[in-house]
Amino acid sequence: MVLAAIDLEALRWGALLMILLVVSIALHEFGHAWMADRRGDPLPRAQGRVTLDPLAHIDPVGTLLIPGVMIFWPAFFGGGAPLALIGWGKPVQVLLPNPRTRHWDDILSTAAGPAMNLLLCLGFALGSATALAFGWRPAPSASDFLVTAIALNAGLLAFNLLPIPPLDGGRLLRRFSGMTEATFNQVSGIAPFALLILINLGPFRALLGALVAWVAAPFLWLSGLLG
């Protein structure tokens, strides 16, 4: 490994991408906390998670260290990053105190995280479309950033809905399939390591890439940036 001359353009783009990722992950976690709070769960508010402050939702390793290495690698070492970009926030803890509504409380608070990424895709797309309708002509860098913002949030949405514990999709699978909490926790203990391997295998990355492209396509069309 040889440190190359620092690519300032890659460094600038990396900083923008890092900010975008942190904000997107923070809003994802805020969605979980906000919905749980709305459903009467006191724990997220007691832990300070019902807030838009990104600092409350950052995981030092999953939000900063691992994504930071992947994002800034090209600026310092040239070429592409050695591993696929992956990131996560500090998990929102819930009590689900009402046994009568626990099933749907869990489903709604779990789904609210990916729903925030869906809303971000829609927001970026509508913002771009509205600006274009009023005569805005974006510079290539601005257009690239908006396309990246939509694609990144489509990626967070698609990845988190994979039916694999402890991802949101795995938690939804547990609720809809009747999986026990013990089984869910057991699978959740080893799944992160399996996911880290899978996301760097060609076939899985191709499948995930196709899924992300499918999710992002309507928003990219709506944005007017690809026309």
The total number of residues written for the chain in this structure: 227
Give residue 164's pLDDT.
Answer: 87
Highest mean pLDDT among 76-85, 107-116, 140-149: 107-116
Question: Given the structure tokens 């869910």, which residue do they identify?
Answer: 184
For residues 67 and 58, what is the distance between their CA atoms, to the nearest angstrom?
12
Q: How far is CA 180 from the centre of its chain?
A: 26
**Span 136-158, pLDDT tens digits:** 888 888 999 999 999 999 999 99
Q: Looking at residue 56, what DSSP letter applies?
A: G
**Span 15-63, pLDDT tens digits:** 999 999 999 999 999 999 999 999 999 999 999 999 999 999 999 999 9
Question: Is the backbone of residue 83 left (phi > 0), alpha (psi -120 to 50) or beta?
Answer: beta
Give residue 3's pLDDT.
Answer: 54
| CA proximity to 167, closest of 199, 126, 143, 128 | 199
Question: Is the backbone of residue 48 left (phi > 0), alpha (psi -120 to 50) or beta?
Answer: left
The identity of residue 207, as a single letter, is L
| CA proximity to 73, closest of 135, 126, 14 | 14
Residue 60: phi and psi, rounded to 5, are -55, -40
pLDDT averaged over the chain?
90
Q: What are the structure tokens assigned to 30, written together? A: 């805020």
% of the chain with per-residue pLDDT over 70: 95
Give residue 79's pLDDT.
Answer: 67
Among 61-70, 79-88, 89-98, 208-217, the least confident range: 79-88
Give residue 111's pLDDT.
Answer: 98
Return the domain boundaries, the chain. 8-84+97-223
Q: Say if CB 87 and CB 25 are below 8 A apart.
A: yes
Q: What residues contact 94, with CB distance under 8 A and at least 6 apart?
A: 32, 36, 41, 43, 44, 105, 106, 109
- Higher per-residue pLDDT: 77 or 178: 178
Among 43-57, 60-74, 178-192, the least confident range: 178-192
Give residue 198's pLDDT.
Answer: 84
Model confidence at 202, pLDDT cuts 50, 70, 90, reads confident
Q: Say if CB 117 and CB 32 are below 8 A apart.
A: no
CA atoms within 13 Å, Cβ hemisphere of 146:
24
Model confidence at 81, pLDDT cuts 50, 70, 90, reads low
Cis before residue 166, ω within 30 degrees of 0? yes
